[in-house]
Amino acid sequence: QAVQTLSRLNRCHPDKKDTCVVDFVNDRQTIYEAFKPYYDVTRIAETTNPNHLYAQQTEILQYGLIRDEEISGFVEIYFQKKPDTGRLDALVQAAVKRFSEAHGPQCPKKAQQSGEAFKGSIRSFLRLYEFVTQLVRFVDVDLEKFYLFVKHLLP
């Protein structure tokens, strides 16, 4: 039954970019076992707590690669009627350049691994943010700005 539910998820509305599984009737282990044969990696989140967003944001910021002024500048341009994509890209590329200098292929293996952890933290934050904001009204403007900026950091 879980596999049939997955196939139904693929039918999404034309205006939606992705799908989201909010809950299953089955317990966590049953769902895990049902999906395991079809995926190399099956991710099932533990219970969701919106406060984890702040912990993840703090973790990402501790790398020192993202600047508040770049986030503010990005958001200011992003919400204009006709945003200047060149200026948006320049703000994002500044953080990308810092990342490349600190964690790129020219760096020691430990620094490269730290860079992979940074990207993983961003992916985790994005998944949780997108999930939580579908379920609850979340009114933290600074967190929304942070989300918009980091969403554009990864390809």
Per-residue pLDDT tens over the stretch 12-38 = 666 666 655 555 566 767 767 777 776
Same-domain pairing of 53 and 38: no
What residue type is 87 in one-letter code? R
Same-domain pairing of 110 and 67: yes
Domain that holds residue 15: 1-44
Same-domain pairing of 101 and 146: yes
132 — pLDDT class (breaks 50, 70, 90): confident
What 3-state DSSP class applies to 82? coil
End-to-end CA distance of the chain: 34
The pTM of the full predicted model, rounded to 2 decimals, is 0.71
Q: Which residue in 67, 36, 60 sits closest to 123, CA to CA?
A: 60
What average pLDDT does the segment 51-55 reach? 91
From the number of C-beta atoms within 10 Å of its C-beta (0-12, 13-18, 19+), residue 149 rates as buried
How crowded is residue 136: how many other Cβ atoms within 10 Å of its Cβ? 9
What is the residue-averaged pLDDT of the chain?
84
- Quote the pLDDT of residue 71: 97
Spatial separation of the C-alpha atoms in residues 120 and 65, rounded to whole Å: 14
Same-domain pairing of 90 and 57: yes
Same-domain pairing of 66 and 84: yes
* DSSP secondary structure letter of residue 96: H
